[in-house]
Structure formats: structure tokens, C-alpha cells
Amino acid sequence: MLAYLIRRFFAVIVMLLVITLVTFGIFFLFPKMIGTDPALYFVGKQSDPAAIEGIRQKMGLDDPILVQFGKFVVGLVAGRTYANGSDVTHCAAPCFGYSFKTEQEVWPLLTDWLPVTLSLAAGAVVLWVIGGVATGVISALKRGTVLDRSAMGIALAGVSLPIYFTGMLAIALFSDQLGWFGRPEATFADDPAKWFNGMILPWVSLAFLYAAMYARLTRATMLEVLNEDYIRTARAKGLTEPVVIGKHAMRSTMTPILTVLGLDLGALMGGAVLTEYTFSLHGLGYSAVRAISEHDLPVILGITLISAFFVVAANLIVDLMYAVIDPRVRLS
């Protein structure tokens, strides 16, 4: 087990390095290929050549790509000092560089955006797991009935409708027309009650999409599990149906759901782009879209890496969780 952990840990490190290299390569080679100069982004197009050269020196933009990459990775781990003669700037670890646009360090920006994304994901996940799994189980137990069909019909709609549609609709209906919920404007620190009220619509909209997928997955898995021999055995023991379903069938049904959940959460940590944009939530997803439109390469790189980190970490956690859930996996 320990050997497995160590092996997996190394694999994660290597994978993150490869992702960093590829992203880094794309983002810093690309401007060269299309004939623009990253240094220009820093100083603005009208600057004099000396200033551009100074920035180029300071940022090390003339170094070979691998040297630049090496410095970037060292900066991530140990921090980095940019210098051009007497012009010295220190960037503390983890150093993701400076935003082209605002000339702020990227890392503090990321740590500003991350909590917004986290709170959106956390609230939504509670809603969709409870709603999706419950709907799926009930649908499976009432297979073929009107209840099952309507639930699955709604689920199909939920999977098919894009968030900018349902989100906009929700805002128009519940916020603008009925005035039940506000827009997400306050932060938790400012006013918890207002924050919560503002987050309800984003949570529900995002959760609706996922709940629909989870309901379908739960229903399919549950139906499969109910056909297993060990469910028949559980009934043959004289267990009541609540125990047969709630304990024996649910335990097996949860396995694939937890797997998908881990991966979904990992992906969401990189920002629920559409949801954040629809509700103007300034999280990672929203900021990524803005950074792309502003060609703010260091920010894009930072968000990409942090998203990749969460996806890889989620994968690892899911694999470890497997071993906890399923005793058959423990040996290998």
C-alpha cells in the first residue's frame, strides 16, 4: 500500500511537471509564432524600444524556452527575483509571475478568486448529490411508473439545457421578477446573510445540471445492483426492504457515484466558467475568460496550472477512495 502511494505520488509530480511544460510552452511560444512580443504586453504598444528591452532583460524573455521554464518552476517552488541592473523585483513563492494587465503578482490574484469558486462548488455539490441521488434511487425503485418517467424527463432536460439558459431564466424569474433572491454581490465576510441569499441561484442552477446527470447515473447503477445475487441473498435473510436498499444496494451504488463526484469536483475547482460568467461571480472561471480576452498570459497559465492540480489531485483521491470503499481493491 505504501509503495503504491509513493508510486502514485511520483506519478502526480511528473504529470504536473509535464502539464506545466506543455502549457508554458504553448503560452510563451505562441506569441512568438504569430509574431508578437510578450514584452510588448507589459509596457504597452507605444513604449520606446529601451523600455521594451529592459522588460525583456528583467523577465528573461530572451532566454531559451527551457531556461525560462526552469526559472518558472524554480519560482513556483522557491520564489523568484527579477532583475535588470538596479531594477529589482522580488516575487515570493509560489511565484506565477506578474499579470500583463495589472502588473500584480498572479498568486495573490488566484487566492482571491479561489474562495469564490470553492463556495460555488461546495454549495452546489451538496444540493446535487442529495437531489440527484435521491431522485435516481426513487426512479429506480419506481421504474416504469409516471414518477420515474417524469423524473427522468426532467433529468434529460437538465442535462441538455445549457447553464446560461437556465441561469438567465432563473435570474429573470426569481431575482428580477419575483425578487426572492438577490444577485451574488456581497462576500461572506461583508454580510453572510446577503451572501447566502445571493448564492442560492448560482448554486441551484449549477446543481440542477449536475443533479440531472447524477440522477441518471444513480438510477442506472441502482437498477444494475438490484439485479445482483447478493441483493437476493439479503432478501433471503429476511432483511426489510429499507435495509436491503439503504444498506446493501446503496453501498454498491455509491461506488461509481463517488468516482464521478471526485472527478467533477476536481474539474469544478478550476472554475465553473459558464455559471460564474452568468452570475458575474469573480471566481477562477470568470477570471480565466477575462484573462483570455485580455491576452493576460501569466494569469491564464496560473489558472490552468491550478485547475490541472485539482484535477490530478481529485484523480488521486478517487483512486485512494476506491481502496477504502471496495475491499477487493486493497490488495493491489
Residue pair 107/72 in contact (Cβ under 8 Å)? The answer is: no
**Contact stretch for another protein (CB under 8 A) within 22-30, 155-163, 201-209, 232-240:** 232-240
**Residues of this chain, 41-60, that bind another protein according to CB under 8 A:** none
Residue 242 binds to another protein (criterion: CB under 8 A) = no
**Does 140 help bind another protein (rule: CB under 8 A)?**
yes
- Please give the residues from 210 up to 229 whose contact with another protein meets the rule CB under 8 A: 226, 228-229
Q: Which is nearer to another protein, 153 or 192 (CB)?
A: 153
- Start-to-end CA distance of the chain, whole Å, equals 8
Pairing between β-strand 87-91 and β-strand 80-84 as defined by DSSP bridges = antiparallel
What's the min distance (Å) between Cβ of 273 and another protein? Answer: 37
The residue (of 90 and 247) whose beta carbon lies closer to another protein is 247
- Residue 144, interface with another protein (CB under 8 A)? yes
> What is the rounded CA–CA span in Å between residue 58 and residue 85?
8
CB 276 within 8 A of CB 270: no
Q: Quote the CA–CA distance of 200 and 289 in Å, as a whole number.
A: 23
Longest dimension (CA), the chain: 86
Give yes or no for residue 234 binding another protein (CB under 8 A).
yes
Give me Rg for the CA atoms of the chain.
25
- Report the residue number, 20 or 253, with the smaller CB distance to another protein: 253
Residue whose C-alpha cell is 461546495: 122
**Is residue 145 within the footprint of another protein (CB under 8 A)?**
yes
35 vs 144, beta carbon nearer another protein? 144
Does 9 engage in binding with another protein (CB under 8 A)? no
**Count of residues near another protein by CB under 8 A:** 34
Q: How many helices (H) and strands (E) does the chain have?
A: 14, 2
Q: Which of 225, 224, 252, 214 is nearest to 134 (CA)?
A: 214
Q: Which of 239, 258, 273, 320 binds another protein (CB under 8 A)?
A: 239
Residues 264-283 that bind another protein (CB under 8 A): none
Fill in the per-residue mask, 152 to 191: x = in contact with another protein (CB under 8 A), - = not in contact: ----------------------------------------
Q: Does position 316 bind another protein by CB under 8 A? A: no
In the complex with another protein, the residue whose CB is nearer, 170 or 226, is: 226
State whether residue 264 is helix, strand or coil.
helix
Amino acid code (one letter) for 276 = E
Question: In this chain, which of 148, 224, 294, 319 binds another protein, going by CB under 8 A?
Answer: 148
Residues 6+ apart with CB under 8 A from 91: 75, 79, 80, 81, 82, 97, 98, 105
Binding region for another protein (CB under 8 A) out of 33-41, 48-56, 66-74, 230-238 = 230-238
Give the E-state strand segments of the chain in sequence order: 80-84, 87-91
d(CA 314, CA 312): 5
Residues at the interface with another protein (CB under 8 A): 3, 6-7, 140-145, 148, 226, 228-241, 243-244, 248, 251-252, 325-328
